[in-house]
Amino acid sequence: MDGIGTYMMRDHKACDEYFAQADDAATAGDWARVTRSLAVFVAALERHFELEEQILFPAFEERTGMSAGPTQMMRSEHEDMRALLADLQRAALEGDVERYSGLAETLLLMSQQHNLKEEQILYPMMDRTLAAEEQALLARLEAWEAA
Amino acid sequence: MGGGLIRAPAMAMPQSGLQIEQAPPFSVPLRFFLTAPAFALLAAMLLAWRAPEVLASRWTPAALAVVHLLVLGFMTMVMVGAMMQVLPVLAGAPLAKPRLVAGITHVALASGTLALAGGFLWSQPALLGAAVTLLGAGFAVFLGAVFHGLARAMGKGAAAGEMWLAAIALAVAVLLGLALAAARGRGMAVPVIAWRELHPAWALLGWTGLLVAGVSRQVVPMFQITPPYPRLLARFFAVAVFALLALWSAAKMLPLAADRAALVPGVMLAAAYALFALVTLELQRRRRRRASDVTLRFWRLGMASLAAAALLWAARLFGVAPEGFDAALGALAVVGAAMSLINGMLYKIAPFLAWFHLQAGGGGRGMHMKTFLAEARQKRQYALHVAAVLLLLGATLGPAVLIFPAAACLGLSALLLQSNLAAIVRVYRRASGHDAGARSAAP
């Protein structure tokens, strides 16, 4: 049976794949395709952030009483990634190769180190602290994604 | 928004160990990164100056000095800084008092390495004694902080386990090294002759290899979006290497037939590293991210060198390669494998940390990693490094005169790496807008 951590990790991998598709298009210099792929990537990533910010983080904060702890840090990194994504979309519209590749590289490292912290530390903590309400939370995650 | 990014949330202190955001200030890893190239440059100069002696045997004073300038002054220097950075991310194990630990370790490691190299070179007991004190104290502080952090780590995952094993291997290598240096300083016989073999094994196959493998396992799939490492390799590599190293060491300490008893674990160690290198190369071939960058090139060179070094070592163990190949083995393992991998990592870590800390300070909007360092500058340094590796191999296997262009390329490569890292810091300081520079990201 999959827990919350496994569920969210699978979502990280899906987002990686969308990122790679935009990256492929940029390597090929096909900016129309970059823009389209980026839109898909942005939507997937934003939905992933929402699952955490709207459902999982509040549940974790309520359960542990830690509102200034790791979840606050993760929210702030989400904001940094949103800013990078906006810059990235602008660079794609302008067809600025050098800027696009620098921003894409930065976003990749930012998101990967962020994922690593979640997968190594935060998700395992959530799996432990939220075990009692796991099924209800998983149902809410799925409902949010279906909406 | 990003203001609290790297700060310990003071309010949340009661839940000790939960501050996964507690990345150390930029100055903590940076001082190690900026110091390392100077030691590679010193090694290159010494290589040119004492070329025949360095090539003659690994036990000559000049060879010992060159090797330790590279493995302590360059490799361990960067690895210590990087470990302080990655422990909170990989293992949820932030170090207590990072600035104090970094300050002591950095000064002790730099001065201790200089004293050690000088002590070897001029057979100076006083310098060797100073090296033992400085390196002993520096590593004691560093390892004390690492073990303390790991013991309270939030993350109990595989990454934390690998960090434990790498740190223990470093402790073993340091203890053996201190004993060897102290004996040399006093003109005494080495207490146990096998320690001369055990020390480099724990330093390279233990500390360096386990840390590099542990970090690779995390970052190779991340940077290029490759498939993950095979489950068995990911789960058991570090434990298997550590156990084999312990077995090999025990066999080496046997009074009789030590070499025959050590053959099996030795060959298995070589096979484990060859396998790890080949699997990494295959994963990189299957990478999802097609764009190639300088880090990827450094890593392919490093992994190819690692595979070649492992095969050569196995050949030495079986006795099918003569002792004369040891210099080539050392060049492959140290310059070809470890230095390449570390150098490639630096080009990811340094610009990213600069960007990350700027964001944390509320600045750096619209900037990205390549605004800190253009790729063309990295490529030039890579070309010099490749030339250095090839010429070094040429000098150890063919005409010895190649050692001079090899040393020149190694030295130039170190200078260029230094200037590239300095360029990153310049951009960072300008953007952060105050002269406190590297210290500016402090809480």
Determine the pLDDT at residue B6: 35
Arithmetic mean of pLDDT, B102-115: 98
Tell me which chain A residue has its CA closest to the CA of residue B87. Answer: A117
Burial class (CB in 10 A: 0-12, 13-18, 19+), B380: middle
- Are the beta carbons of A24 and A147 closer than 8 angstroms? no
* Distance (Å) from the alpha carbon of B429 to chain A's nearest alpha carbon: 19
In a 3-state reduction of DSSP, which class is residue A3?
coil
* Cβ distance of B20 and A70 shorter than 8 Å: yes
Q: Is the pLDDT of residue B441 over 60?
A: no
The C-alpha of B386 sits at a distance from chain A's nearest C-alpha, in angstroms, of: 24
User: A-B interface: how many C-beta pairs under 8 angstroms?
Assistant: 110
Confidence of residue B303 (pLDDT cuts 50, 70, 90): very high
DSSP summary character for residue A118 = I
Per-residue pLDDT at B407:
98
DSSP string, A41-64: HHHHHHHHHHIIIIIIHHHHHHHH
**Taking 90 as the threshold, does the pLDDT of residue B299 lie above it?**
yes
| A91 to chain B: closest CA residue | B366
pLDDT in tens, B247-269: 999 999 887 777 788 999 999 99
Average pLDDT score over residue span A60-67: 88
B347–chain A Cβ distance below 8 A for any pair: no
Q: Quick one: tokens of B8? A: 């310990």
pLDDT band for B7, please (50, 70, 90 cuts): very low
User: Among all residues of chain B, which has the CA nearest to that of A105?
Assistant: B369
Query: Nearest 5°: phi and psi at B214?
Result: -65, -45
Q: How far apart are CA B46 and CA B178, in angstroms?
A: 23
The angle that helices B340-360 and B77-91 make with each other, rounded to 10 degrees, is 60
Distance from CA of A141 to the nearest CA of B (A): 24
Residues in chain B: 443
Indicate the residue type of B284. Answer: Q
Contact A121 B223 (CB under 8 A): no
Q: Which residues in chain A are closer than 8 Å to B220, comparing Cβ atoms?
A: none
Q: Do A110 and B356 touch (CB under 8 A)?
A: yes
Which among B21, B225, B366 is the nearest to A70, CB-wise?
A: B21
* Residue contact B222–A112, C-beta within 8 A: yes
Cβ of residue B7 closer than 8 Å to a chain A Cβ: no
Which positions in chain B touch A124 (Cβ < 8 Å)? 155-157
> In terms of pLDDT, which residue wins out, A120 or A33?
A33
Q: Is the pLDDT of residue B273 over 50?
A: yes
pLDDT at B389 over 80: yes
B348 contacts chain A (CB < 8 A): yes
Distance of CA B345 to the CA centre of its chain: 10
3-state secondary structure of B317: helix
Rounded to two decimals, what is the model's pTM? 0.91
B368 C-beta neighbours (distance < 10 Å), count: 24
Check CB contact under 8 Å for A73 and B291: no
A146 CB contacts (<8 Å, ≥6 apart)? none
Backbone dihedral angles phi then psi of residue B7, each to the nearest 5 degrees: -95, 145
Write down the pLDDT at residue B437. Answer: 43
Q: Which of A109, A110, A112, A123 to mutate to test the interface with B (most CBs of B within 10 A)?
A: A109
Query: Taking 70 as the threshold, does the pLDDT of residue B171 lie above it?
Result: yes
Confidence band for B156, pLDDT divided at 50, 70 and 90: low
- Write out the two tokens for B388: 């250095």
Whether A106 sits inside 8 A of B15 (CB atoms) is no
| For residues B84-98, average pLDDT | 87
Which residue in the set B15, B156, B371 is minimally distant from A102, CB to CB? Answer: B371
Judged against a pLDDT cut of 70, whether residue B416 lies above it is answered with yes
Q: Which residues of B touch A66 (CB under 8 A)?
A: 12, 15, 18
